């Protein structure tokens, strides 16, 4: 997979990609992530990328021309499956959306900033709009990092144990069951017997029951 991220703040985004699973995915050649600073496509001597909104009102808007220049350059080099715009009024990210995106080859992710981007960018270039939740961030950068993390960990070969993404919370619309590690007894708090029994079919059944119980208690909306 190749991900091209267009942003006015590349420095805000780079560190999550240089640690842990995302770093390993890059090292293994399973994903390529490229950052494009919108200012490199700015117009005029002032490296302008944003301007006041027509009709008045507080807040700057990212201009169409630098974004068009950047996207056009990328599209001339390869085909893209999706051009995703991170915005609080997009579709709320779910595991299902991440699963779907993880099957794509080439993605562009556009990060909004200030009041967002000129609507014509959304109308003409963007194929999908994603929000990471009903709250407003200062820009789309952290949201894009969240999206990339949730997608990249699903790429085959990224996680050591291939099955571990399949047992994540939200896969199958269930929360994950409780997990325990050593010691089996700590200050009078014991790990459920069944997990120490070695009876794997029974353990599997217990996990399924606990996953359902937990989902009923915490997120009954997932079961509807
Ligand atoms: N940009 C600002 N807030 C956001 C959010 N909640 N999700 C995605 N992009 C955003």
- CATH classification number, 167-223, choose in 1.10.1270.20, 1.10.1040.10, 3.10.150.10, 3.30.70.660: 1.10.1270.20
Kindly provide the b/e burial profile for residues 95-113, where b requires at least 16 CB atoms within 10 angstroms of the residue's own CB.
Answer: bebbeebbeeebbbbbbbb
Task: Say yes or no: ipTM exceeds 0.95.
Answer: yes
The residues spanned by each domain of the chain are 2-152, 167-223
pLDDT in tens, 155-197: 999 998 766 787 888 878 999 999 999 999 999 999 999 999 9
Average pLDDT over residues 213-219: 98
- Whether 49 has a pLDDT exceeding 90, the answer reads yes
From residue 31, give the alpha-carbon distance in Å to each of 66, 91, 130. 26, 24, 21
Q: Is any atom of ligand 1 closer than 6 Å to the C-beta of 84?
A: no
- Asked whether 53 and 115 are in contact (CB, 8 A), the reply is yes
DSSP lists the bridge partners of residue 91 as 130
Q: What is the mean pLDDT of the chain?
A: 95
Average pLDDT over residues 138-162: 93
2-152: CATH topology: Alpha/beta knot (3.40.1280)
* Tokens describing residue 158: 């990224």
Q: Is any atom of ligand 1 closer than 6 Å to the C-beta of 140?
A: yes
Residue 23 has a pLDDT of 93
pTM here is 0.93
Q: Is any atom of ligand 1 closer than 6 Å to the C-beta of 86?
A: yes
* 155 is known to lie in a ligand binding site: no
Q: Which residues contact 194 (CB under 8 A, 6 or more apart)?
A: 202, 203, 206
* 136 is known to lie in a ligand binding site: yes
* 112 is known to lie in a ligand binding site: yes
Residue 34 has a pLDDT of 97
Cα 145 to ligand 1 centre (Å): 11
Q: Please tell me whether residue 103 adopts helix, strand or coil conformation.
A: coil
Ligand 1 nearest-atom number relative to CA 133: 6
Q: Is 167-223 the same fold as 2-152?
A: no
pLDDT in tens, 31-41: 999 999 999 99
* Tokens describing residue 12: 């805000």
Cα 140 to ligand 1 centre (Å): 5
Ligand 1 nearest-atom number relative to CA 138: 2
């Amino acid at each position: 997979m190749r991900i091209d991220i267009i942003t006015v703040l590349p420095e805000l985004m780079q560190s999550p990609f240089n640690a842990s699973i995302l770093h390993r995915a890059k090292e293994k050649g399973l994903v390529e992530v490229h950052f494009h600073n919108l200012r490199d496509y700015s117009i005029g001597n002032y490296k302008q990328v944003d301007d006041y909104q027509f009709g008045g009102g507080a807040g700057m808007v990212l201009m169409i021309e630098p974004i068009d220049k950047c996207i056009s350059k990328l599209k001339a080099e390869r085909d893209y499956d999706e051009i995703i715009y991170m915005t609080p009024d997009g579709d709320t990210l779910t595991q299902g959306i991440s699963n779907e995106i993880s099957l794509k080859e080439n993605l562009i992710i556009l990060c909004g900033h200030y009041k967002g981007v000129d609507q014509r960018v959304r109308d003409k270039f963007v194929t999908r709009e994603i929000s990471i939740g009903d709250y407003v961030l200062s820009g789309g950068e952290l949201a894009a990092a969240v999206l990339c993390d949730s997608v990249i960990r699903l790429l085959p070969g990224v996680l050591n144990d291939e099955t571990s993404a399949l047992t994540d919370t939200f896969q199958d619309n269930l929360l994950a069951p409780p997990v325990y590690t050593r010691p089996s007894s700590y200050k009078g708090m014991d790990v459920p017997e069944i997990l120490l029994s070695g009876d794997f079919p029974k353990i599997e059944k217990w996990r399924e029951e606990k996953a359902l119980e937990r989902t009923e208690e915490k997120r009954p909306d997932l079961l509807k």
